[in-house]
Chains A and B, each alone.
Chain A
């Protein structure tokens, strides 16, 4: 195989993995607080179209990012009100959020289906970007990819080095204990859910503004669900989330390149690849229930309210 092609594939895999990085890291923080939000797909879609519209209108990436994150957070707010304040079932509420997000994004995007955006330029770093191979691999990406790495660093520090992160983990582990010690469980969970929503929104913006860059109805195409699987796959650890995200980025990219090698496979079969890979990954990790129970936040998905004791 040609070295250049390999580098191209790797670079493309990183780009394809970045929406997963944002969405899965956001969901990781949400789940660490003990809340399971299955609405990632819906939040990504609404984030994608909001960012796309903002980009088309303003031409500013910053505005697009802010709009997408706000839209994702607003979607998450609906979920938070339902599950945290009104104590609705988290599974049902997450599904509702996705169904609503599919409808809402299609509706918002009606007038934008045939517009193409210029995309986001690669950030050229003098000298570094010109290094052969390494320069291409590490220093030829757009700013949203670099900021996803910053996000990873921040979340790793936050969860394991900061007091706030300790509180978040404590709340996910034993909300009753946290409440007894005087922590505002519901308030902190609100923040975690909103953060997850903003990150899912940002993942959506990356898809519609930088990766594709255009708006197609339902363009997230299951990536939100894959992100949910990634969090389990990563045993709720940020570093493994990154590895999983780029792995899936690679699988997404592989389907385009297999055809490039002259192998005759119908495109639909190739498109099935990421979905089937997700199922296989789920099967592999789910076999070890003990490890999943040890790593998953103990209160994940359970409704909690201080009044219910």
Chain B
């Protein structure tokens, strides 16, 4: 070992920004290796996975459609993560948001009007927050660990959605398939660009990211959340109300995920199905970390993560690559990020003394 690892006297600012890039590059390199292991031509597979999905306008639209829920949820989760409040329940909060929003789409099926979409979005937000308020309540009153509670509630929420589309919310004329009616036009987000499926929801997501930026970077409450995350004792010392921060941390994730759930059913899906999310709630956790819990970073990392989803689909269609590869890429990306973060606090140097000895 001629390389010496030593702590930096202070954390490197440059590495803070570089390490997500390093992680992304390492993930792409691993991609090439995985593709060749699967017996594919790496260059061809790389093209199919990472380039083809976005080389036309339609593809860009798809990228933004997928990135929207990711950046929205990622920002909402980052609010909690900053305070070390680990909401792992976005997947469930998204499902409940979809249920609430979908309910109004179904009961106003015969109506049309501009009120329906805002109502659905508000209902989704309420649903997501309600679901998130369970762990918040249990944590503030009983000290129950929010990681385990939010996780358990994911399973419960997904089962609840399945239960409803198998029962009360099932399309009576749907030949018994577990799905709701197709929503009316007033319950579908309008498409923005001709020739794509890009819908209004992208602005909502961007608005959420900007609101998150103001809250996290500029507001006193955002500062308090960060203090609580870095040193809880310091937050108590300063007299910040930790329980309030827990509620904000969990509800912001629920709010974002609930709205994201509505964006999905009122966007590309157009109805309630037993499954309304390809794991956005979990992927958003990675988005938040890779984005350094900063809304600007989250915006960029949501695009990368959306590309992974598209690449998975495209690879499956064009190259017969299993779509599960996407999950592997997501996990690898986070691994590499966590590993690269080491370089924020440590640096590697050639060990001169050892060289001299030799």
Contacts and interface: CB of A to CB of B under 8 A. Distances in A.
In-complex A–B contact (CB below 8 Å): yes
Interface of A: 38, 78, 81-82, 86-89, 91-93, 95-97, 99-104, 106-107, 110, 221-222, 225, 228-229, 232, 266, 268-269, 271-272, 275-276, 278-279, 282-283, 286-287, 289, 307-308
B331 A268 contact: no
A91 B327 contact: no
Interface string B307-330: 000000000000000101111111
B327 A100 contact: yes
A84 B328 CA distance: 22
The prevalent SS among residues of B at the interface is: helix
B138 A283 contact: yes
Contacts of B324: 103-104, 106-107, 110
A91 B88 CA distance: 11
Contacts of B342: 86-88
Interface stretch (B112-120, B155-163, B207-215, B255-263): B155-163
Contacts of A307: 7
Nearest to A292: B143
A275 B166 CA distance: 20
A107 B334 contact: no
Given A96-B334, A278-B148, A268 B163 contact: yes
A158 B50 CA distance: 51
Interface of B: 7, 86, 88, 138, 142-145, 147-149, 151-153, 155-156, 159-160, 162-163, 166-167, 282, 285-286, 289, 322, 324-332, 334-335, 338-339, 341-342, 345
Contact of B151 (A103, A222, A276): A222
Given A92-B334, A107-B328, A225 B286 contact: no
Nearest to A224: B151
Nearest to B340: A86
Contacts of A271: 159
A154 B285 CA distance: 38
A104 B345 CA distance: 30
Contacts of A95: 88, 285, 334
A110 B159 CA distance: 24
Contact of A266 (B163, B282, B335, B338): B163
B345 A87 contact: yes
Contacts of A272: 155-156, 159-160
B167 A266 contact: yes
A96 B338 contact: yes
Contacts of A225: 148, 151-152
A110 B328 CA distance: 14
Contacts of B152: 222, 225, 275-276, 278-279
Contact of A110 (B86, B88, B322): B322
Nearest to A222: B155
Given A99-B327, A104-B328, 19 more contacts: A81-B339, A96-B335, A96-B338, A99-B334, A100-B327, A101-B331, A103-B327, A103-B329, A106-B327, A107-B322, A107-B327, A110-B322, A222-B152, A222-B155, A272-B156, A275-B153, A275-B156, A276-B156, A286-B145
Contacts of A81: 339
A23 to B, nearest CB: 14
A89 B338 contact: yes
Contacts of B149: 279, 282
B155 A275 contact: yes
Contacts of A222: 151-152, 155
A283 B142 contact: yes
B156 A100 contact: no
A90 B332 CA distance: 16
Given A92-B334, A95-B285, A99-B331, A268 B162 contact: yes
